[in-house]
Amino acid sequence: MGGNPDRGEALVTRTHNLFQELDEEFQPADAVPHPRYFYLISHPEGGLTKVLGSANGYNRFFLPHTGVVNGCSCLTGVVEVDAEHIILDDPDIIVLGPQPRLQRPDEFMNDPRWRGLTAVSNHRVYRAPPGIDYFIAAPFWSRWLAELAHPDRLQPKSRDLYRSYVQWLLDYRLSDEELDTAYAVKDNHAMANAERFEAQNHEP
């Protein structure tokens, strides 16, 4: 079976270093308080909504780097919940799945079921950035969430770091428009602290 083990080792090392650099800059254990966060898969037509529970592997891998905690009282990995469950848990930050058919932040904010949520009141509802969602580029997803949750502790340099990473990985320089898409800039524009991911706050 063919392959390029040296390239694979370089990718693993690069990912490890990115996480280490984030932790050294951020010191997530000291970033208190830790906002309570939900990752939701919510459809515009209503009905059942899925949430990542506290036992989900994504939480174990990524949340320690972000300065947030999973706010879901469910102990499972992924579970379907009704509106009452979400209202009772009342997260501080909500991240919506990036798939096109799922609710956007503006749709979620205007949904009568959610108008009393803390995250909605504070404009802290975000579409997950499709270009870096979870295992696609894990250190960048962790930094994205950390910057949203604790903007006072991190410089807004996610886009610049990701552009450098893709340049190294693929020998391709992402345009501002491509980075806007990767970071869901249009969908998150009106949300708290999301302006730090817009092009005007980064190097050209």
Q: Give the pairing type, strands 49-52 and 36-41.
A: antiparallel
Q: What's the mean per-residue pLDDT of the chain?
A: 87
- Could you tell me if residue 87 is inside a domain? yes
Q: Distance between CA 156 and CA 179 in Å, rounded?
A: 14
pTM over 0.85: yes
Residue 1 pLDDT: 45
Check: CB of residue 93 under 8 Å from CB of residue 62.
no
Which domain does 63 fall in, by range? 20-201
Main-chain dihedrals φ then ψ at residue 103, nearest 5 degrees? -60, 135
- Could you tell me if residue 40 is inside a domain? yes
Output 6 or 133, whichever has higher pLDDT: 6
pLDDT band at 204 (very low <50, low <70, confident <90, very high): low
pLDDT in tens, 96-132: 988 878 889 999 999 888 889 999 999 999 999 988 8
CATH number of the domain to which 110 belongs: 3.40.50.1980
- Could you tell me if residue 12 is inside a domain? no
Q: How many Cβ atoms are within 10 Å of 187's Cβ, its own excluded? A: 21
Check: CB of residue 91 under 8 Å from CB of residue 118.
yes
Residue 134 pLDDT: 60
Write out the E strands in the chain. Answer: 36-41, 49-52, 69-70, 78-81, 93-96, 125-127
**Which tokens sit at 17?**
């270093």
Amino acid present at 93: I
Q: Which of 96, 111, 87 is nearest to 191 (CA)?
A: 96
- Could you tell me if residue 3 is inside a domain? no
- Could you tell me if residue 58 is inside a domain? yes
How many domains in the chain?
A: 1
pLDDT in tens, 49-62: 777 777 777 777 88
**Which tokens sit at 82?**
């009704």
Check: CB of residue 52 under 8 Å from CB of residue 70.
yes
Asked if pLDDT for residue 14 goes beyond 60, the answer is yes
- Could you tell me if residue 169 is inside a domain? yes
